[in-house]
Each structure stands twice: as structure tokens, then as C-alpha cells.
């Protein structure tokens, strides 16, 4: 059994889809959800779906080994970031080399980096006059949005596109592909 830890600190619509996608899978399970915001809606979703969750703060994450210890205790194989905005510290990167995956709501390497999240990403795409956007699923390193690209899917940017309408198109791609790409990635050597 491959065991996934989800890191999510927002609404959690992607986290929910991932949990549901693997719910009946005999070989892969979402074992735990980790979150840095005590009031994040993703915690309600996880509770309803019966996934245990842990909330941690900045000091715990960056100044202790509590999270790596927790991941080891839970025998976690892969970390999946689905709406998690903090850089992953070195103690966790060292424990999971090439085994941490993030989704970014645009076509990296454009429109990524620190502060580039949520609606700001879609505003950036529209201001740049890009004719297409999409999703990037990539491995995670010590910098924002710079790990190697695993998968991209595209959608057109219409002439009358708004950041909100583009967010809807991108969410559709996320829900369509993220869990499937995770499954392929974590089983690629099996
Ligand atoms: C998604 O758009 C994802 O690309 C980004 O954070 C957002 C999370 O949305 N990394 P949700 O919390 O899953 O609804």
C-alpha cells in the first residue's frame, strides 16, 4: 500500500477530489491531511471524508522535526501539495527526494514564484495577453514553482476572459487530471 499525505490550507476542492479518487483504491490511500490554517475549509472536508488531519504552525514547520517525524510514524511515501503555499523545509525535502508533488494553476515557468497564487495567477495571465493557460503538476524543490514538470494541460484564454472565468476553466482541468497524474506518478516504477 502506498500512503499519501496531502498538504492543503485553503478551500480544499482538489484535496477532496484526490481523497475521493483513491477511496476505493486497494494500492494507494490518502492517509493524512496536513494544514497550516486552523480555520481552513479543507479541514471540514477531510473530517467529512474521515481522513485524519493535523494543523501545524510556522514554528513547528520550520524550527522542529515534528512534521518529518509524523510523516515517518505514519509511513508516508509521497507528499501531495494541493493549495499549500509555504516553502517545504530541507528536513522534509531530504526525507522525500523527488516524492513531493505540487499543482500550479498556470503553465509554468510563466506566472509562478513567490506571491503567485490564487486569483493573482489568472490576473497575471490575462494582463500578459496570453492566449492559453492551464495547469502544471511538478515536483517540489526548495524554491517556489521550480521543480521539474511532470504534466501540463492547457485551456484557451478568451478575448473577454476574466480572472474568475479563467479560474473556473483551470479548476476543471485540475479536477480532471490531478488525481490521475498522481496515480501514474506514484506507481511509475511498479
Ligand atoms: C488550486 O488552484 C491549485 O492549483 C493551487 O491552489 C488551488 C487550491 O484550490 N495550488 P482548492 O483549495 O483545491 O480549491
Q: What would the mean pLDDT of 71-82 be, rounded to a whole number?
A: 98
Strands across the sheet containing 132-139: 53-55, 28-35, 2-7, 78-81, 100-104, 132-139, 149-156
Residue range 38-47, pLDDT digits in tens:
999 999 999 9
Count of domains forming the chain: 1
CATH code at 21?
3.40.50.170
Q: Is the CB of 11 under 6 A from ligand 1?
A: yes
Q: What is the pLDDT of residue 190?
A: 78
**Nearest residue to 105 (alpha-carbon basis) of 128, 131, 130, 125:** 125
Mutate to test the pocket of ligand 1, among 105, 168, 182 (most ligand atoms within 8 A of CB): 105
- The mean of the pLDDT values for the chain is 97
pTM, whole model, 2 decimals? 0.97
Q: Is the CB of 33 under 6 A from ligand 1?
A: no
- Range of the structural domain that residue 49 is part of: 2-118+137-152+177-186
Q: Is the CB of 167 under 6 A from ligand 1?
A: no
Q: What is the pLDDT of residue 188?
A: 93
pLDDT at 189 over 90: no
Position 131 in a domain: no
Amino acid at each position: 500500500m502506498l500512503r499519501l499525505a496531502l498538504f492543503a490550507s485553503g478551500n480544499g476542492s482538489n484535496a477532496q477530489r484526490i481523497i475521493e479518487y483513491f477511496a476505493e483504491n486497494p494500492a494507494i490511500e490518502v492517509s493524512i491531511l496536513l494544514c497550516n490554517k486552523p480555520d481552513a475549509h479543507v479541514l471540514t472536508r477531510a473530517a467529512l471524508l474521515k481522513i485524519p488531519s493535523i494543523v501545524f504552525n510556522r514554528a513547528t514547520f520550520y524550527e522542529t522535526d515534528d512534521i518529518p517525524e509524523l510523516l515517518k510514524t505514519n509511513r508516508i511515501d509521497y507528499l501531495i501539495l494541493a493549495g499549500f503555499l509555504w516553502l517545504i523545509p530541507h528536513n522534509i525535502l531530504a526525507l522525500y527526494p523527488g516524492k513531493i508533488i505540487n499543482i500550479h494553476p498556470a503553465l509554468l515557468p510563466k506566472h509562478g514564484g513567490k506571491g503567485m497564487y490564487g486569483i493573482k495567477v489568472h490576473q497575471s495571465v490575462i494582463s500578459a495577453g496570453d492566449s492559453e493557460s492551464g495547469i502544471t503538476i511538478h515536483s517540489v524543490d526548495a524554491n517556489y514553482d521550480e521543480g521539474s514538470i511532470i504534466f501540463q494541460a492547457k485551456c484557451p484564454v478568451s478575448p473577454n476572459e476574466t480572472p474568475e472565468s479563467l479560474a473556473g476553466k483551470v479548476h476543471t482541468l485540475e479536477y480532471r487530471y490531478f488525481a490521475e497524474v498522481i496515480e501514474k506518478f506514484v506507481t511509475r516504477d511498479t
